[in-house]
Amino acid sequence: MREYLLLLPIIFIFHDMEEIIGFGWFFKHNPYVFERFSKVTETYRGFTYMGFACAVYEEFIPFFGISLLAYYFPSKVLYGLWFGIFLALAGHFLIHIGHTAYIRKYIPCFITSVICLPVSVIILIKCAVQLEFDTVTAVCIVAGILVMIINFPIAHAVMHFVNRLPGVPGES
């Protein structure tokens, strides 16, 4: 399983680069998305590249941190957390694919989601075979998923905080 641990932050970075590069263009050229999906897109009103990039960086910390810890200090707990975080990322890809289907328009995250989802599923299956599933592992997997769910609003709070800082360039 150790050989797969550092693929989690690499896959995350690959995917989020598409988001960072594309979301500014997407919101600038698709204003109707704000009108049609106002509850969902309200989070991104006032979007700046710097704010979004800082949110992505904040999200990267658990991906990289847990992967690094599990790589250098292999344990059932860290493997379970890593597996849960990777499951959350795979779910994130499914959500992006669903958003694209629902909106019926390309969303900057769709292409890498389509590329990364099958790769992630293969990695997760290979690691699931190697994991020693018991109560501790199951609790750690759930904890990893919860870490990412709880981290999502924190990342958005970071984005909004940075967007309001003096000197941060306006909307992209």
Report the alpha-carbon distance of residue 120 to residue 90 in Å, rounded.
6
Question: Does the model's pTM come out above 0.85?
Answer: yes
Q: How far apart (Å, rounded) are the C-alpha atoms in residues 26 and 137? A: 40
CA distance 19 to 54: 12
For position 40, what pLDDT does the model report? 65
Per-residue pLDDT of the chain (172 residues; tens, 9 = 90+): 899 999 999 999 999 999 888 877 776 777 777 777 776 666 666 778 888 899 999 999 999 999 999 999 999 999 999 999 999 999 999 999 998 898 888 888 899 999 999 999 999 999 999 998 999 999 999 999 999 999 999 998 998 899 888 877 665 4
Report the pLDDT value the prediction gives residue 171, as an integer from 0 to 100: 57
Long-range contacts, stretch 109-117, CB < 8 angstroms, 24+ apart: 109/15, 109/18, 109/19, 109/22, 109/23, 111/18, 112/14, 112/15, 112/17, 112/18, 113/15, 115/14, 116/11, 116/14, 116/15, 117/90, 117/93
* pLDDT at residue 12 in the model: 96
The radius of gyration computed from the CA coordinates of the chain, to the nearest angstrom, equals: 17
Instruction: Give the separation between CA 43 and CA 40, rounded to whole angstroms.
Output: 7
* Cα gap 145→142, rounded to integer Å: 5
Q: What is the pLDDT of residue 108?
A: 86
